[in-house]
Amino acid sequence: MHDAWIAARMSRIDASGIRKAFELARQLKDPINLSIGLPDFQPPEAARLAAIHAIESGANAYTLTQGIPELVSRLQAKVDREYGHSDRQVLVTSGSSGALTLALAAVVNPGEEVVLFDPGFAMYRHLTTLAGGSSVMVDTYPDFRPTAERVQAALSPRTKCVIVNSPGNPTGQVATAAEMKDLADLCRRREILLISDEVYRSFCYDGPFDSPARHNDDVLVVDGFSKSHGMTGWRLGYAHGPKRLIQEMAKLQQFTFVCAPSIAQHGGAAVVDHDLSSQTAAYGRKRDMVVEALDDLYDLPRPEGAFYAFPRAPWGTGTEFTAQAIQKNLLIIPGNVFSARDSHIRISFAVDDQTLARGLALLRELARKPS
């Protein structure tokens, strides 16, 4: 194997810190795993039964690139009810990550800039690199608000798009309606594409969810069934946005993913309008458990959504604190996986209550710096 065979871009794409946690979890004996954003509930029964029926009835072939008609039509009806945009079209994708890959590849030219919030999901930065673009990071410490003022200062003639994620990973922040409107208005004025990653939209605990697509018809929305329906392994996502952009993404999907998994699509079609309130309420209680256990010992911005908390490490760097936690059989993620800073840690509370309680007790113990 010759190093010259490897594209130069790969030197700028790191192995996922979250995947490393998966590997570490397999090596530890009975770890308390608060590292992974993996819902602890099963997919709805209707989805499971529909997927089984699809297999048994022979629906195992490639589907239309855009998605099976049953799923596309139900998603389109849902999107139309919410936004009422005449030019908004749906594309079913292989997970929300598939939608993001297609979107950035379809819009970013080499040398163009993508504005991202720091801290934020590491995938955005690496997919920007894959598309040949450059990431421009917007520091949001200490409050993690995705404000238009912060974005304005980062714009340049090379800016192609902005990616916003609310509710956010890793911080759990939820943008207010005013913040979303200001950001959407800014992007419209500057003729910059705004991509809104809304995979956690069903997990809002302190107020309603607001999408920037309510304020700007040209926003591209990325969503999916993984987090909301406990279907992470099914790889079922979708995007909706201006028809012209969706058509280009669909064209690219023909030559990459081909289509989303057929069986997953049949399962998803059965639960497009599934009531998610019980899961939201359960995770709201878990959020309260985290805040109650850690608020007096950690600098912890209150998570408003998703299923993550992002406190400052009470001593040392995020990496040093995480290493000490692992010695106690507790898996968390250092903040530098999501940020240029190494000052915080990410805790996932997408676990059963007993595991969460054990992890929180250890985090309280770890708050005292070892001598």
What is the per-residue pLDDT across 229-277, written as a single tens digit (0 to 9) for each? 999 999 999 999 999 999 999 999 999 999 999 999 999 999 999 999 9
Does the pLDDT value for residue 336 go beyond 80? yes
Helices of type H across the chain = 17-27, 45-56, 69-83, 95-107, 122-130, 148-152, 177-190, 243-254, 262-269, 277-294, 318-327, 353-366
Which pLDDT band, with edges at 50, 70 and 90, does 23 fall under?
Answer: low
pLDDT tens string 92-151? 999 999 999 999 999 999 999 999 999 999 999 999 999 999 999 999 999 999 999 999
Whole-number Å distance between alpha carbons of 323 and 366: 11
C-beta neighbour count of 202 within 10 angstroms: 20
According to the model, what pLDDT value does residue 298 have?
97
Does the pLDDT value for residue 16 go beyond 60? no
Whole-number Å distance between alpha carbons of 333 and 345: 6
Nearest to residue 66, comparing CAs of 258, 197, 229? 258
Which pLDDT band, with edges at 50, 70 and 90, does 47 fall under?
Answer: very high
CB 199 within 8 A of CB 96: yes
CB 293 within 8 A of CB 363: yes
Going along the chain from its start, the domains and CATH numbers come out as 3-43+276-366 (3.90.1150.10), 45-269 (3.40.640.10)
Residue 138 token pair: 């917007």
According to the model, what pLDDT value does residue 25 have?
57
CA distances from 211 to 79, 136, 169, 202 (A): 12, 22, 16, 12
Which residues does 233 contact at the CB level (< 8 Å), separation at least 6? none
Which pLDDT band, with edges at 50, 70 and 90, does 368 fall under?
Answer: confident
Whole-number Å distance between alpha carbons of 329 and 325: 7
Residue 302 token pair: 């209150």
Whole-number Å distance between alpha carbons of 75 and 71: 6
Distance of CA 95 to the CA centre of its chain: 11
CA distances from 212 to 194, 207, 348 (A): 8, 16, 26
| 3-state SS class at 32 | strand
Distance of CA 329 to the CA centre of its chain: 26
Phi-psi label, residue 25: left if phi above 0, alpha if psi -120 to 50, beta otherwise: alpha
Question: Could you tell me the pTM of the whole model?
Answer: 0.94
Residue 76 token pair: 């389109």
Q: Which residue is associated with the tokens 């800039």?
A: 113
According to the model, what pLDDT value does residue 171 have?
97
Q: Which residue is associated with the tokens 């004996």?
A: 29
Which residues does 214 contact at the CB level (< 8 Å), separation at least 6? 83, 180, 181, 184
Percent of the chain clearing pLDDT 90 (strictly above): 89
Whole-number Å distance between alpha carbons of 250 and 292: 46
Whole-number Å distance between alpha carbons of 160 and 224: 24
**DSSP calls for 68-123:** -HHHHHHHHHHHHHHH--TTEEEEEESHHHHHHHHHHHHHPPTT-EEEEEES--HH
According to the model, what pLDDT value does residue 19 have?
57
